[in-house]
Amino acid sequence: MSEEQISAFQPQSTRQPMSQRSIMSRTGWLVKNHPIGFLGGVIVLFVIFTAIFAPLIATHDPAAQKSKRLLPPSAEHWMGTDELGRDVYSRIIYASRTSLYVGVLSVALAVVLGVTTGVAAGYIGGTFDNIVMRFVDILFAFPALVLAIVITGLLGPSLTNAMIAIGVVFSPRFARVARGSVLSVKNEVYLEAARVIGGKQWHIVRLYVLPNILAPLIVLATLTLSLGILAEAGLSFLGLGTQPPDPAWGLMLSQGRKFMELSPGLAIFPGLAIMVTVLAFNFLGDGLRDALDPRLKL
Amino acid sequence: MQKYILRRIILLVPTLIGMSFLIFAMVRLLPGDIVDALVGLDPTFTEEQKNVLRESFGLNDPWPIQYAKWLGGMVQGDFGTSFRSREPITEQILRALPITLELAILAIVFSIIVAIPLGVVSALRQNSQVDFWARFAGLIGLSVPSFWLATLFLLFTSLTFRWVPSVIWISPLEDPLGNLQQMFLPSLALSVQLMAVEMRMVRASMLEVLRQDYIRTAWAKGLDLNAILYRHALKNAFIPVITIIGIQLGALMGGSIIIEQIFGLPGVGWTMLQGIFNRDYPVVQVASLFLAAAFVLINLSVDLTYAYLDPRIKYS
């Protein structure tokens, strides 16, 4: 049999794996093959931009109660005013900061807690692994919202505590994924080779283990971000997250609910903001998952 | 197989104990205690009086004793007494449970009615217009916050029909129609997200089943579409779907908290929330443990049902 007929000798694809390509080429891939993911990415960038440049985009001071209350949308107040006479549009713009702040920091906390735990458990193995994962499983066994509400409620309702609660609630997911990835590469030959030539433990972890588990973690992080933003909205809706008078979409929704018959915009706009942001992160996560799927070997 | 089931059920006990311990520890460790919350900054209360209060709540016993007392009571069916209302929590939970269950079941029923036909059609006509719009709607449904949807529903009914839902719970035993009217909007709001997940699952599962060889054989034999669907495809495609529905039922235990709050339905989630607002720690402990335990039990049942339904799975 000639070499061409033996499939093992056929190149899978001549292109580079996604993780080694440049950002430009990865973006181009997303645009062509996963337009929804690209759209998500664009909206996410837009939301980030809004949050960073909020003072430039907002038309009024979000805390100023100067205007008449419950005005409908007009040229001066693009989304009308709320029950205290504040400009709704500006509050929504500034609230994007709260959502992104909580979303990013809670995911960061979840990543730090979860990944260190998972990597340690997977790498060290044995009884340590058993005990740690037992604890992680117990945490994981709780319905997310219940745990978040209990933690926030007991710590005291505030933005920071909501962030901590959400971070803790989502860390078991990262622990599991990290541990799974570590276990799958633990026995690879190149690790043994590294040990043989004298590499220290921490060095090995950093240089070989971590880059290999990056892909699933990035996807999980993006999807957790969307859940985190949703959770923050839910917690502030219940009064357990951001406290008045700070602007937060969930809080605006719960406060505006009481007056929504007089001014429907109060119930519509904050919810719309939540939905668009969560949608964008979900789209982006979908796209990233397809892009970083190692099996595709694109 | 029997051993697997037994092992899973036995593993349930340490999990539940671990969860109860975690909740207990959280409630005790975190700042502020019930007496401070009840009394506030009232200067007329001296330290001794506060201590007497603490004694009456059993808060001065060492923690292991408090935990043992609590756990021992729970095993016997005594869930403790509410700090606020001095009412046995067992009764509160027993009153609240059917409400949460009804909400969850109605939400799932609504979601199945829409998701299953839509998913099947979407799979049969893959990549058609119907499929595209169904998938698009599914993605949107996944991202809509249920509490926003509930708010929009209420806005719509109050503006269009001049109707607001009842503020008192209407029992289905007394007034089934009134109860349905009350539960309709909240269940619908909850069901949208369920629908989106289920539809995706039904579609994916159907697509996989339809590619199987036995379906192709049936097609080649000359069976018409209906026969293929009902006799072969659907039954096999539904196994993962039932799993998802089961998991969603468990998730609804916690996920219905906000909806219960919006509509004033006194379910378990609402009870827990009120406990948190009132710093009523025994209620918080029991209600959250209850929701968590329901979640764990339902997930376990789903796992076991899945193992039972799918003959390809063999557990050693």
- Per-residue pLDDT, A199: 64
Q: What three-state secondary structure class fits B34?
A: helix
CA torsion A51-A56-A57-A60 (nearest 10°) is: 110
Q: Would you say residue A276 has pLDDT above 90?
A: yes
How far CA A202 is from CA of A195, A210, B25, B282, in Å, comes to: 11, 11, 34, 45
Q: What three-state secondary structure class fits B60?
A: coil
Contacts of residue B140 in chain A, CB cutoff 8 Å?
275, 279
pTM recorded for the entire structure: 0.83
Q: Would you say residue A103 has pLDDT above 50?
A: yes
How far CA A237 is from CA of A117, A231, B229, in Å, comes to: 32, 10, 45
Q: Which of A41-50, B165-174, B264-273 has the lowest mean pLDDT?
A: B165-174
Contacts of residue B145 in chain A, CB cutoff 8 Å?
230, 233-234, 271, 274-275, 278
Domain extents in chain A: 31-60+73-297
> Does residue A234 belong to the interface with chain B, where contact is any CB pair within 8 Å?
yes
| Structure tokens given for B310 | 């799918």
Rg (C-alpha) for chain B, rounded Å, is 24
Kindly state the average pLDDT of the residues B6-20: 85
| Structure tokens given for B135 | 């998938």
| pLDDT (tens digit per residue) in B51-87 | 777 777 666 677 787 788 778 877 777 777 777 777 8
| pLDDT (tens digit per residue) in B227-262 | 777 777 787 888 888 888 888 888 888 888 999 999
Q: Would you say residue A6 has pLDDT above 60?
A: no
- Per-residue pLDDT, A296: 46
Residues in chain B: 316
| pLDDT (tens digit per residue) in A160-203 | 999 999 999 999 999 988 888 888 777 676 666 666 776 666 66
**CATH architecture observed for domain A31-60+73-297:** Orthogonal Bundle (1.10)
Kindly state the average pLDDT of the residues A271-294: 84
- Per-residue pLDDT, B73: 79
Q: Would you say residue A5 has pLDDT above 60?
A: no
| Structure tokens given for A238 | 């219940």
Neighbours of B229 (CB within 10 A): 19
- Per-residue pLDDT, A167: 94
Q: Which of A268-277, B31-40, B184-193, B256-265 has the lowest mean pLDDT?
A: B31-40
pLDDT above 70 as % of chain B: 91
> pLDDT higher for A285 or A292?
A285
Question: Which of A212, A250, A256, A205 lies closest to A228, judged by CA?
Answer: A250
> Does residue A118 belong to the interface with chain B, where contact is any CB pair within 8 Å?
no
B90-94's contacts with Cβ under 8 Å and 24+ in sequence apart are: B92/B271, B92/B283, B93/B268, B93/B271, B93/B286, B93/B287, B93/B290
ipTM: 0.82
Report CB contact under 8 Å: A278, B143. Answer: yes
- Per-residue pLDDT, A166: 94
Q: Would you say residue B173 has pLDDT above 60?
A: yes
Q: Which of A75-79, A292-296, B88-92, B206-210 has the lowest mean pLDDT?
A: A292-296
Test the A interface: residue of B153, B157, B258, B281 with most A CBs within 10 Å: B258
Contacts of residue A237 in chain B, CB cutoff 8 Å?
147, 258
Backbone torsions φ then ψ of A11, nearest 5 degrees: -70, 135
| Structure tokens given for B249 | 């039922």
Question: Which of A77, A57, A75 lies closest to A67, judged by CA?
Answer: A77
> Does residue A145 belong to the interface with chain B, where contact is any CB pair within 8 Å?
yes
Residue A154 · residue A146 · CB < 8 Å: no
Kindly state the average pLDDT of the residues A63-75: 80
Residue carrying the six token digits 């809509």: B144
- Per-residue pLDDT, A298: 38
pLDDT above 90 as % of chain B: 14
